[in-house]
């Protein structure tokens, strides 16, 4: 039987690219989504997978998701809990904690539901962000949430053996999720400040996630892998 990969937030962006990449590698993909059923159905049709609706911040919906897809060999926690981008001093507490709590609720409930049922070769990958280690105007909630996710993932790794647990942390990726924060000028500036001289595409991130998830790195656990086209080498975006 084909191994199963559950990818949260796989209707578009990095999640959809990861579903395509893991499907090419022989996985049956569970394409989780929240609101956009048509987008997820298109990814499922393309990959031969199944589109499954669930708000992954909600433990009851996570339980339903697992009941529908069965215990996965691979879990990719990718769903984009959309962050508020505004100065910290004017950011309402509800907006700040909504992002931090949502990010951690998704990781916590998925991990607790999946890990006990995972086979020994199981793999968990959390999608974090380079933002966790940067200071950018307006990004306090996003950075705090992703930094907390990084710490959470290390502690899961410490308890998950023989399952491996890793973090993939992209810099700015060309997706719908980042569209509001991107202009031709900011894209050009990002490309100029990267060693590779270009933006990061969803496929770039998907290939790293798949490399970690697909058994090619059995002795790598508890690490955080940046996918940043070399921004940090030149001092960060």
76 binds ligand NAP (CB under 6 A): no
Q: How far apart are CA 142 and CA 136, in angstroms?
A: 10
Q: Does 75 bind ligand NAP (CB under 6 A)?
A: no
Q: Among residues 89 and 128, whose Cβ is nearest to ligand NAP?
A: 128
- Between CA 2 and CA 11 the distance in angstroms is 21
226 belongs to the binding site for ligand NAP (CB under 6 A) = no
Containing 97, the helix (H) or strand (E) segment is helix 93-114
Distance in angstroms (rounded) separating the CA atoms of residues 208 and 44:
21
Q: Residue 213 CB, nearest distance to ligand NAP (Å)? A: 15
Let me know: does 20 contact 43? Beta carbons within 8 Å.
yes
Find the part of the chain contacting ligand NAP (CB under 6 A) among 34-42, 44-52, 189-197, 216-224. Answer: 34-42
111 binds ligand NAP (CB under 6 A): no
Token pair 């937030």 is found at 9
Least Å from the CB of residue 162 to ligand NAP: 26
Residue 121 to residues 13, 35, 113, 115, 127, Cα–Cα distance (Å): 27, 32, 17, 11, 20
* Residue of 129, 125, 120 whose CA lies nearest to 156: 125
SS3 (DSSP) at 226? strand
Q: From the CB of 57, what's the least distance to ligand NAP, in Å? A: 5
CB of 5 to ligand NAP, least distance (A): 15
Q: How far is the CB of 34 from ligand NAP (least distance, A)?
A: 3
> Does position 79 bind ligand NAP by CB under 6 A?
yes
**Is 56 one of the binding residues for ligand NAP (CB under 6 A)?**
yes
What are the residues binding ligand NAP (CB under 6 A)? 8-9, 11-15, 32-36, 39-40, 55-57, 78-81, 127, 129, 170, 172-173, 175-178
């Amino acid at each position: 039987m084909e191994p199963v990969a559950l990818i949260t937030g796989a209707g578009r962006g990095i999640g959809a690219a990861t579903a395509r990449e893991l499907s090419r590698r022989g996985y049956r993909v569970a394409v989780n989504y929240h609101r956009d059923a048509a987008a997820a159905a298109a990814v499922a049709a393309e990959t031969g997978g199944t589109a499954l609706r669930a708000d992954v911040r909600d433990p009851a919906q996570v339980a339903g998701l697992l009941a529908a897809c069965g215990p996965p060999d691979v879990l990719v926690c990718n769903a984009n809990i959309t962050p508020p981008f505004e100065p910290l001093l004017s950011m309402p507490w509800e907006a700040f904690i909504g992002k931090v709590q949502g990010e951690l609720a998704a990781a916590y409930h998925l991990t607790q539901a999946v890990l006990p049922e995972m086979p020994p070769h199981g793999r968990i990958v959390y999608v974090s962000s380079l933002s966790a280690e940067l200071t950018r105007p307006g990004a306090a909630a996003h950075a705090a949430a992703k930094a907390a996710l990084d710490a959470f993932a290390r502690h899961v790794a410490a308890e998950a053996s023989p399952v491996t647990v890793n973090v993939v942390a992209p810099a700015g990726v060309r997706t719908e999720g980042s569209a509001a924060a991107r202009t031709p000028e900011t894209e050009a500036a990002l490309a100029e400040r990267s060693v590779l001289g270009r933006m990061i595409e969803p496929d770039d991130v998907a290939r790293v996630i798949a490399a970690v998830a697909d058994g090619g790195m059995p002795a790598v656990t508890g690490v955080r892998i940046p996918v940043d086209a070399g921004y940090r080498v030149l001092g960060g975006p």
